Structure 1
Amino acid sequence: MPTAARLTRQYLRGLPAGCAPERLGAASALAGDIYGSAFLTRPVFFGREESRELGARLSHLYDLLLSLPHRLHGGDLRAFATALGWSPAQLDAALRADGVPRALPRSARADLYREADGFRLLEVNGGSPLGGWDIALLNRALLQEPYLASFADEHGLGFTDGIEVLLGLWQESFPALDVAAGPVVALLEWPGSYPAMERHLNRMAALLAAHGVDAVPCHLGQLEYRTDGVHVAGRRVDLVHRWFVVNDVLTGADAALPAPLTEAADRGTVCLFTPLENEVYGSKAALALLSDERDRSLFDRSERALIDGLLPWTRLVRDGRTEAAGERVDLLRYALAHREELVLKASSSHSGLDVLAGWETSAAQWAAAVRAAVDGPVILQRRVRPVPEDFPAPGGGTAEPTVLTWGVFLAGHGYGGTYLRGTTDLDTGVISSGMGGRLGTLFLVDDA
């Protein structure tokens, strides 16, 4: 049995009555805003070597995603994004007119379930607008519980500080920028989204201030473009951390706002972490292209093994034939016949939005949704069945099975931390705060 599993059993066996770390989470700075107010009733334990191995596998898979425009379209990113289902408005908002890809920071978060034989990738969120950078606040809050603090000390538990990871990514992405010297950083949201995100961005600013960074929460309409660079609140900005997404740009009259920022970044007058084009690689449709057997010849044996080991069967919804379970099938007929084993997802959605689980849907609703999705930016994906883990009932007491979504950060070429969502609804199609998911974190343990 892996060390982490043994440690979990030991933790649960020794759990004293009344020990309820979730109360500390609910009283922490993380409660509310984007995370909700419900927390898992214990931390998760994960081997340090396991984390390194998982980080390496995710890094290699991200390399494959970044290589797809070259493998499939001769390096033309606009052609690639068009094949993913991006609209002309999305293309114009995010990509260069000539289709040449920019050099991108290696920042992403993979969302995974853990099946009996290992992790399975649900989606990759590429770029900078990622929840979970501040999850170490929860680790520190949980360590205020005496039993957990003693347990962590006895077993040498540690955790990854996402703010330190983020600072390292900024430095790696922009070598000419001295992050240690205290740069001015704009934490930049979309005007319409800023009120909902303001508390979260202020918390991020306070965490960054502890590292000497002058971080300014703001929205895109507050930036000023001068001859010497980009300014906000009377300060010249060294780096912009983008929090808005490409779909925000398509919501109305503010669609022209990103262009001056993109132009300033392309000229080198400000560092942009990350360009909107990063979201091309976070499209679930890109995973469908990795999974599709028609392009198998573009990958060598080790690359195919990596794809098959991490990625469940995933396809764009198209009226045609494909491979499924080792057979050639009509995709639409297969989707209708195997509703209980499939999920329908919009390729650019996030936070569990626009996800339809076949087993939670009537046959008639499922058939209508599948037919409506044909030729759109929508994917079908094999249902992944996560193995439940035991968590104490809220307030302490009998353990109850809980399934987890693992949000694992890729920082550069390796593991960059994890935040978790869990639910006792073992058949749920989505685990999110808006659908009853509880926020959690993990501690790292030596594997031996």
Structure 2
Amino acid sequence: MMKPESALVEAGPQAASGHPWFGDRRIAPPPVPPATIRRMLDHEIRDTGWPYQRLLPAAPIALPRTAYAELFRVTAALLDLVRRTALETAPTTEGRLAAYGMPESEHQLFVADQFTEERYADCVTRPDIVIGPNGPQFLEFNVSGALGGPVEVRSRLAVWRELYADEQGRLPFSSHHPFAVRARMFHDLCAELNVAPRVAVLGSARDQGGATRYFDLQTEYFASQGLTARFFEPEDLHEAWDCPPHLRYGVGLRDFTIPDWAQLGIDTAPVQDALDHGCLLVGTQTSTFLSSKLTLGLLSEGRPWMSAAEQALVDRYLPWTRVLSHRFTHRGDRKLDLVPYAVENRETLVLKASIGMSGKQVAIGRETDPAEWEEAVVSAARTGTSIVQDFVSPRTCRLSLAADGADATHEADIAPVFGPLLFGGRPAGILARFFGDGTAGVVTVLGTHSSDNCVVAV
């Protein structure tokens, strides 16, 4: 624990090297060896499927309270627009599946009542945000109970709390606790549905290298907050509903993705059985439409029901994005033929498939051979299930890092990708991913081996 007189927060021009949005204050590393910081960070995240990282943070990323709050405020506003945009594509689930060109693998795990499907689709979300020349830019929305962030933010935050608390337990920063906010969401959900406060956490240890700690952390916290909770492998999920009424689980967390389970050969039939027998797993399968990058393309182009204020919000926080097909669209007052425009403006655009994880199915134009880019654009335009989006040149902030084997921490300019978590519409902490060695490109921990941290407000 740090002493109260320790200088925790530094001010000065080096605090933010890339954009004034980051502010001019940051948190200095705690007065312990880098090896101690690394050992504590590794210990908290152990056995959760999180990979080794050569560069780990030596302090949390600190934002001004106004910037920290802005990420959540805009996330909530844009999520509402994303939801409305996705649901308007067709009046039924079947119509939306066709409109989005969803693969056959996604034509499952819907509940029978469409209102329930739509009502609980956006319970859990995390957009990906970079800070561009004009401030925050929302690159995509991840809407799923299986998104990364809750366990990672909880684990990083636990270390920073231990290292920075003074003798009275006071901290030089504040942050939302993702587990606490999510427990509150489930309490509210159980009350709304008039079911017992019992939460089924559905996942598979096969998706975590065989360990269950990733799920155990969550169920143990739920239990500490007055929620009966149990981790279920899919083969055991029948026990959540095929039992006496007082032992049934009316709600649960859907902590898996269909593609991941398909790759592992895990059958989803038990999940459909649970849904059919009254176990509501959130977010519902309708969240797939909200997560689709096509939704951002539709939203960026503008919807007829949007107010002037909503259009202004979209224009400010979303980079120019279009669903790619052989058609005309607009850019400001300019009318353009989309496919030729995308081919000719390779260096300023990114091509993304509608569904993808960990940076897969993404091509950055400036890093792609011109001939390959043209072929990819023309091919994607034929299917209509991809987007082109303005490339946002990320701005940087300064962070202290602890390299594996180093005797001292060092500072680096990083371009973080922020992921504010929203559970039931409430702020729940911010995940940050970054390259600590100056590397640029698609930033994901599992896909491109970046580093991660949590974000706090000062």
TM-score tier, shorter chain, comes to 0.7 to 0.9
Give the match's secondary structure for 1:297.
coil
**Closer, same or farther: CA 70–389 of 1 in aligned 2, 3 Å:** closer
Q: Which moved more, 1:107-116 or 1:80-89?
A: 80-89
> How far apart are residue 3 of structure 1 and its match?
9.9
> How far apart are residue 120 of structure 1 and its match?
0.7
**Closer, same or farther: CA 117–175 of 1 in aligned 2, 3 Å:** same
Are the equivalent residues in 2 in contact too, given 1:77–1:100 (CA < 8 A)? no
AA paired with 1:316? V
> How far apart are residue 254 of structure 1 and its match?
2.7
> How far apart are residue 288 of structure 1 and its match?
0.9
AA paired with 1:318? S
Q: 1:383 aligns with which of 391, 406, 416?
A: 391
Q: 2:184 aligns with which of 150, 168, 193?
A: 168
AA paired with 1:315? R
**Cα distance between partner residues in 2 of 1:430 and 1:21:** 30
AA paired with 1:278? S
**Closer, same or farther: CA 16–125 of 1 in aligned 2, 3 Å:** same
5 Å-filtered alignment, 1:103-142, equals: 103-104=119-120, 106-134=123-151, 135-142=153-160
Aligned to 1:273: 282
Aligned to 1:86: 102
> How far apart are residue 15 of structure 1 and its match?
7.4
**Closer, same or farther: CA 136–193 of 1 in aligned 2, 3 Å:** closer
**Closer, same or farther: CA 223–92 of 1 in aligned 2, 3 Å:** closer
CA deviation profile, 1:192-233 (whole Å, cap 9, x unmatched): 63656734212323333333444322222222268xx3459x
Aligned to 1:429: 441
Aligned to 2:357: 350
Q: Which moved more, 1:166-175 or 1:15-24?
A: 15-24
AA paired with 1:244? F
Aligned to 2:45: 30
CA deviation profile, 1:371-404 (whole Å, cap 9, x unmatched): 2222242221111121111123434454221111
**Closer, same or farther: CA 96–373 of 1 in aligned 2, 3 Å:** farther
Are the equivalent residues in 2 in contact too, given 1:17–1:397 (CA < 8 A)? no
C-alpha RMSD of matched pairs (Å) = 3.4
Matched, 1:284 2:278: no
Aligned to 1:317: 324
Give the match's secondary structure for 2:304.
helix
Gaps of 5+ in 2: 1-12, 14-19
AA paired with 1:432? T
Gaps of 5+ in 1: none
Are the equivalent residues in 1 in contact too, given 2:329–2:336 (CA < 8 A)? yes
Aligned to 1:241: 253
AA paired with 1:416? A
5 Å-filtered alignment, 1:137-216, equals: 137-145=155-163, 148-149=164-165, 156-176=172-192, 183-189=197-203, 193=207, 195=209, 198-216=212-230
Give the match's secondary structure for 2:412.
strand
When normalised by structure 2's length, the TM-score is: 0.82
**Cα distance between partner residues in 1 of 2:187 and 2:83:** 21
> How far apart are residue 238 of structure 1 and its match?
3.9
Matched, 1:64 2:81: yes
When normalised by structure 1's length, the TM-score is: 0.83
**Cα distance between partner residues in 2 of 1:373 and 1:33:** 36
CA deviation profile, 1:332-364 (whole Å, cap 9, x unmatched): 222222222211222121222222212222112
**Cα distance between partner residues in 1 of 2:299 and 2:306:** 9
Aligned to 2:454: 441
Aligned to 2:314: 307
**Cα distance between partner residues in 2 of 1:152 and 1:367:** 61
Are the equivalent residues in 2 in contact too, given 1:109–1:125 (CA < 8 A)? yes
**Cα distance between partner residues in 2 of 1:335 and 1:358:** 9
> How far apart are residue 423 of structure 1 and its match?
0.7
**Cα distance between partner residues in 2 of 1:69 and 1:363:** 33
Are the equivalent residues in 1 in contact too, given 2:86–2:295 (CA < 8 A)? no
**Cα distance between partner residues in 2 of 1:213 and 1:100:** 22
AA paired with 2:380? A
AA paired with 1:388? T
Q: 1:339 aligns with which of 343, 346, 351?
A: 346
> How far apart are residue 58 of structure 1 and its match?
1.5
Are the equivalent residues in 2 in contact too, given 1:191–1:221 (CA < 8 A)? no
Give the match's secondary structure for 2:146.
coil
Aligned to 2:9: none
**Cα distance between partner residues in 2 of 1:152 and 1:401:** 33
AA paired with 1:236? R
Aligned to 2:432: 420
AA paired with 1:87? P
**Closer, same or farther: CA 416–100 of 1 in aligned 2, 3 Å:** closer
> How far apart are residue 431 of structure 1 and its match?
0.9
**Closer, same or farther: CA 216–386 of 1 in aligned 2, 3 Å:** same
Are the equivalent residues in 2 in contact too, given 1:342–1:382 (CA < 8 A)? yes
Give the match's secondary structure for 2:150.
coil
> How far apart are residue 116 of structure 1 and its match?
3.1
Q: Which moved more, 1:402-411 or 1:250-259?
A: 250-259
Matched, 1:259 2:276: no
**Closer, same or farther: CA 333–4 of 1 in aligned 2, 3 Å:** closer
**Cα distance between partner residues in 1 of 2:239 and 2:419:** 36
AA paired with 2:179? I
**Closer, same or farther: CA 206–298 of 1 in aligned 2, 3 Å:** same
CA deviation profile, 1:71-128 (whole Å, cap 9, x unmatched): 443x334323422221355234437597995321532111111123221111111131
Are the equivalent residues in 1 in contact too, given 2:41–2:159 (CA < 8 A)? no
AA paired with 2:225? H
Are the equivalent residues in 1 in contact too, given 2:181–2:427 (CA < 8 A)? no
**Cα distance between partner residues in 2 of 1:321 and 1:425:** 41
Are the equivalent residues in 1 in contact too, given 2:34–2:409 (CA < 8 A)? no
Aligned to 2:4: none
Give the match's secondary structure for 2:416.
strand
Q: Which moved more, 1:307-316 or 1:352-361?
A: 352-361
Are the equivalent residues in 2 in contact too, given 1:184–1:214 (CA < 8 A)? yes
Give the match's secondary structure for 2:373.
helix
